Amino acid sequence: MTYPPQDSASAGDPYGQPQQGPPPPAGGYAPGQVGGEPYPTSQMPPSGHHPYAGQPDPNQPQGHPGQPQPYPQPGYDPASGYQHPYGQYGPPPVQATTKGGGGTTAFLVIGVVVLMAIGAVTGYFLLGGDDEPGAGAADDDTTSENEAPEEDEEDGEEPTEESAPAPSGTHLEVASLSSITPIPGPEWEYAGGPGAASDPLVDAEIYTFNHTPEWISFFGVGVFSGAAAVFDPADLNASAASAADVWLGDGFASVEGYQMSEIAYTEVEVDGRPGVLAEWRNSWTSAPETEDLWEDTAILVVDVDGVNGFIGIASVSESGEAMYDPAVEALLATDFDAETA
């Protein structure tokens, strides 16, 4: 914790006015009074007269009867019993005193000079003690040069980030699985990837066919996303059903009277790896975006290596019915460990 604020009236300012003590008693401090410096005064006792004449001096040590008295000190008069407060040398000359801030001003001037000297020395060491003008600027230039981005040593150009892979125009690619899938036909248009994401696909490449501005057919391949759906290499049917739930999502939310047929599962082998092809029909009574009343969907799930799953989806609307079979055949023609992937 920090110390609480100090009261300036009691703490005092080390660079401000000196703190004054209580005023001296009238007539100065009496001899023998504890707690004060001798205060100069012009009031002196008349010569040959002592306020304690004929009485014991309270300022002198008093012995007991029968004990020797202390040896007289210089300035002591045995006849009168008076001891002069200044001994044999007499009173010191009285110094004239004046009221004013002369001492305070000198103290402040000295304090300011000391602070300026400390500041100058501190600044010299903080700035590194540069003797030559412009040294700081040179250091800044050196720092800027060191922080400048490094250029390619071969062609002198700054390095740039690698751009995403461009579509091949002949196949769909899943780089992480080293797989390629042929494009089903020229009517399909590139939509995204490689490396795109569309649950339950990741690291995907996607093509679409636009029936209307708001209604499309979909064709895409990618890695089965375990975060979006459940992938179980030992139960590919369940994996395909889980992917179907995610794929449907709200894709048909705008239609009226939606119905989904029972899913048909077909065991397949794709490039020597086990898989399953799940197919069903989506139907409805009306839709604001299209005059079509149904759409066929196929999901292919392949166990690539016992850990990772490949997934391909082809969903073709009624007006593109002829595109469905070629799309399914393209999925089944996927090649893993392809040289061009």
Per residue in 276-329, pLDDT tens? 999 999 999 999 999 999 999 999 999 999 999 999 999 999 999 999 999 999
Tokens read off for 218: 């979909």
Q: In whole angstroms, what is the distance from residue 185 CA to residue 205 CA?
A: 15
**CB-count burial class (<10 Å; 0-12, 13-18, 19+) for 182:** middle
Q: In whole angstroms, what is the distance from residue 175 CA to residue 200 CA?
A: 17
Identify which has the larger pLDDT, 241 or 63: 241
What pLDDT shows up at residue 98? 45
**What single-letter amino acid sits at 128?**
G
Residue 9 has pLDDT above 50, yes or no: no
* Residues contacting residue 130 through CB under 8 Å, at least 6 positions apart: 136
Per residue in 183-229, pLDDT tens? 999 999 999 999 999 999 999 999 999 999 999 999 999 999 999 99
Under the banding of pLDDT at 50, 70 and 90, the label for residue 6 is very low
Q: In whole angstroms, what is the distance from residue 40 CA to residue 134 CA?
A: 61
Identify which has the larger pLDDT, 22 or 231: 231
What pLDDT shows up at residue 73? 52
Residue 10 has pLDDT above 50, yes or no: no
As a whole number of Å, the end-to-end CA separation of the chain is 64
Average pLDDT of the residues in 165-178: 88
Tokens read off for 27: 């007539």
Q: In whole angstroms, what is the distance from residue 293 CA to residue 270 CA?
A: 32
**What single-letter amino acid sits at 169?**
G
pTM of the model: 0.54
The H or E element that residue 306 is part of is none
Enumerate the domain spans of the chain.
Answer: 171-336
Residue 65 has pLDDT above 60, yes or no: no
Buried b (16+ CB within 10 A) or exposed e, 34-73: eeeeeeeeeeeeeeeebeeeeeeeeeeeeeeeeeeeeeee
- 211, 209, 184, 188: which is closest to 293 by C-alpha? 211
What pLDDT shows up at residue 299? 98
What pLDDT shows up at residue 337? 84
- 253, 248, 181: which is closest to 220 by C-alpha? 181
CATH architecture of 171-336: 3-Layer(aba) Sandwich (3.40)
